[in-house]
Structure 1
């Protein structure tokens, strides 16, 4: 008998064993004991054959920022299958079940880190974020000056100190996690060693921080957060003042980062890395929550969405804009209400996700034939979606 369900407490060790095998690591007895006490078995789903766990994944409850608004997000992690059961569609069935579960839980968007982008695209997930990775030799570190009256103080790795700064930074990007105390203390800082330092301006306002580790003459920057240009320059000066003990700095940054233009010699290693995938779980609920671009002329937009794995998303949706275009009343239309084809934009769920996350523009998606409709309708949709850079500083 085949069965998909959440785990029981006594099945957690088997789940850990599958993860160890699939992701090639080993837990100590102490680590297993700790994980058993901190893991909710109801968050892990298994595919069982005759009572034996064949595949599993974990569905985590998160929140993410999109256009400055917090959305409930289902984070999918720990997807694994024993080799003797692979290529039988079990993970696909688990993912379809997760779509139903996330919808029931009010999670209108989902993120995951794909082992293979092509595989998850089959189930509606699409690339939504890239990041830049810099490797800067010590002689090419920025030569910035500190602002008069500013200071940088090393602090304890504290959620109470860092999160207020992080939250302001995160809201400016689409796809950043809204971190709670549990994430900061038990996931983020628990597994990263190093030092935190906070930048304070002359007015006494904390405007940035850096969390980093120096080891083997390399400064690894876990996170560099700044709320203005002054804080950026102050933090980089602080890092450059480590020059006597390091040979290089390694750091990642959003794709809109302009550091190479600001430094005296931008010829250092710069790599663009494609990272996470996203998927709209519930089109009607997500588009209703969404914050649109304010504009004087407010029109109606009709979207025909195809979604092979979530029938509630399949159909034509009408977006009637209100509040100077910043909000929309979203309605899934009955067949008799559907307007003529020349009034409709059509796409699949992956394209819709890439557009509304802000990762791609409607004009580009139309040019590559992933968005169907007239130039006027494409332009109308593009002007309705705010322009924001996507970023994700976390991993799960």
Structure 2
């Protein structure tokens, strides 16, 4: 059986070559610089056949927000194999070691962007995030009628970087699931791209209240990210975008889908908006997760049974969530229970307790089993907000 090892800087060229072959991205020096910069901030797992790198997985360490708390997350990317060595279960071995490492290091979540949802579901991942896309001919872009106060300035990265971090943090403060961006990641995501422009909106007090990161290529204006803290900021940045109508043929814009569209905002709603599934999530350690879950509104005790979890077998079994007369909550793994019980896979458990789907929906589609009494209990504590993610890795 092949051995999995953690790769270091001397392996970066082999890593880049394998990833480039697998994903067929460009081989420019700038792209390789970005790849190696990310590798330096990641744990890189490789399976070798002699000196040949046969398979690899990159896990980048991040923090994400759930329930007003910051948690560690391992972002999985560049999963790739040399076709000469496929069929040996190498990715299985890597994913098993990766998940073991996550548990040992207290990394509670793992995110990834799948090439195949069924493939990654076998490792316990499940769809959690969706994305909304706008592709609009330039003449159809919705123009802001009223002129906003304040002004928009186009700036360089050095002027923009601190403003972007502050506004992003403020705009995300009431959301769930998002990445807590460290400075190195913001630099990788935006400036190492090399083709981004930056525009900042300042109000009448010269306070930054919004920003736009965008690109213009081959007549297409792409909004990479658009964040604002006020209606004035939104309108001013919209006017800034609209000022390019005569110089581009199309506008592209994507954002996290929160189960609502912007159709209600304007007299003439945009006609073409598409919604697509995007990134998946895995809860690495169910018991650790239950110990940080906000059971503030829980009034009755219940139990959860997690079905087979092949690559994280420590999650399998039954957990009692017991609320005392003083409303304190304790979590205990047990062999059997007499409490009203929910029986669920680790994948659907993540969708339910991270706010992607309700117990009502999951029961309707027969994705779980629940004693009658437990349904109202779960409804009283399930998240009310849809998780969002603006980052991709």
TM-score between both structures, scaled by the size of structure 2: 0.90
Matched, 1:301 2:302: yes
Equivalent-residue separation in structure 2 for 1:387 and 1:152 (angstroms): 35
Equivalent-residue separation in structure 2 for 1:116 and 1:132 (angstroms): 20
Cα offset for 1:252?
Answer: 0.6
The aligned residue for residue 170 of structure 1 is 172
Please tell me whether the aligned partners of residues 6 and 41 of structure 1 are also in contact (alpha carbons under 8 angstroms).
no
Matched, 1:351 2:352: no
Please tell me whether the aligned partners of residues 38 and 188 of structure 2 are also in contact (alpha carbons under 8 angstroms).
no
More displaced 10-residue stretch of structure 1: 248-257 or 76-85: 248-257
Cα offset for 1:113?
Answer: 0.7
Please tell me whether the aligned partners of residues 12 and 41 of structure 1 are also in contact (alpha carbons under 8 angstroms).
no
Q: Which blocks of at least 5 consecutive residues in structure 2 are unaligned?
A: none
Please tell me whether the aligned partners of residues 226 and 232 of structure 1 are also in contact (alpha carbons under 8 angstroms).
yes
Q: 1:359 to 1:192 in 2, by over 3 A?
A: farther
Equivalent-residue separation in structure 1 for 2:232 and 2:277 (angstroms): 29
CA deviation string 1:181-209 (max 9, x = no partner): 10111343211523222223445543321
Equivalent-residue separation in structure 2 for 1:237 and 1:60 (angstroms): 37
The aligned residue for residue 366 of structure 1 is 363
The aligned residue for residue 394 of structure 1 is 391
The aligned residue for residue 319 of structure 2 is 317
CA deviation string 1:249-279 (max 9, x = no partner): 1101222354232233224321111111100
Q: 1:150 to 1:284 in 2, by over 3 A?
A: same
Please tell me whether the aligned partners of residues 209 and 235 of structure 1 are also in contact (alpha carbons under 8 angstroms).
yes
Cα offset for 1:85?
Answer: 1.9
Query: Could you say what the CA RMSD is over the residues aligned between the two structures, in angstroms?
Result: 2.7
Cα offset for 1:380?
Answer: 1.5
Match of 2:240, SS? helix
The aligned residue for residue 83 of structure 1 is 83
Q: Which blocks of at least 5 consecutive residues in structure 1 are unaligned?
A: none
How many residue pairs get aligned? The number is: 389
The aligned residue for residue 281 of structure 2 is 278
Please tell me whether the aligned partners of residues 65 and 170 of structure 1 are also in contact (alpha carbons under 8 angstroms).
no
Match of 1:177, SS? coil
CA deviation string 1:322-348 (max 9, x = no partner): 8997x8533222x2xx322x6111101
Equivalent-residue separation in structure 2 for 1:150 and 1:174 (angstroms): 31
Cα offset for 1:287?
Answer: 2.1
Instruction: Identify the match of residue 379 of structure 1 among 376, 380, 383.
Output: 376
Q: 1:148 to 1:121 in 2, by over 3 A?
A: closer
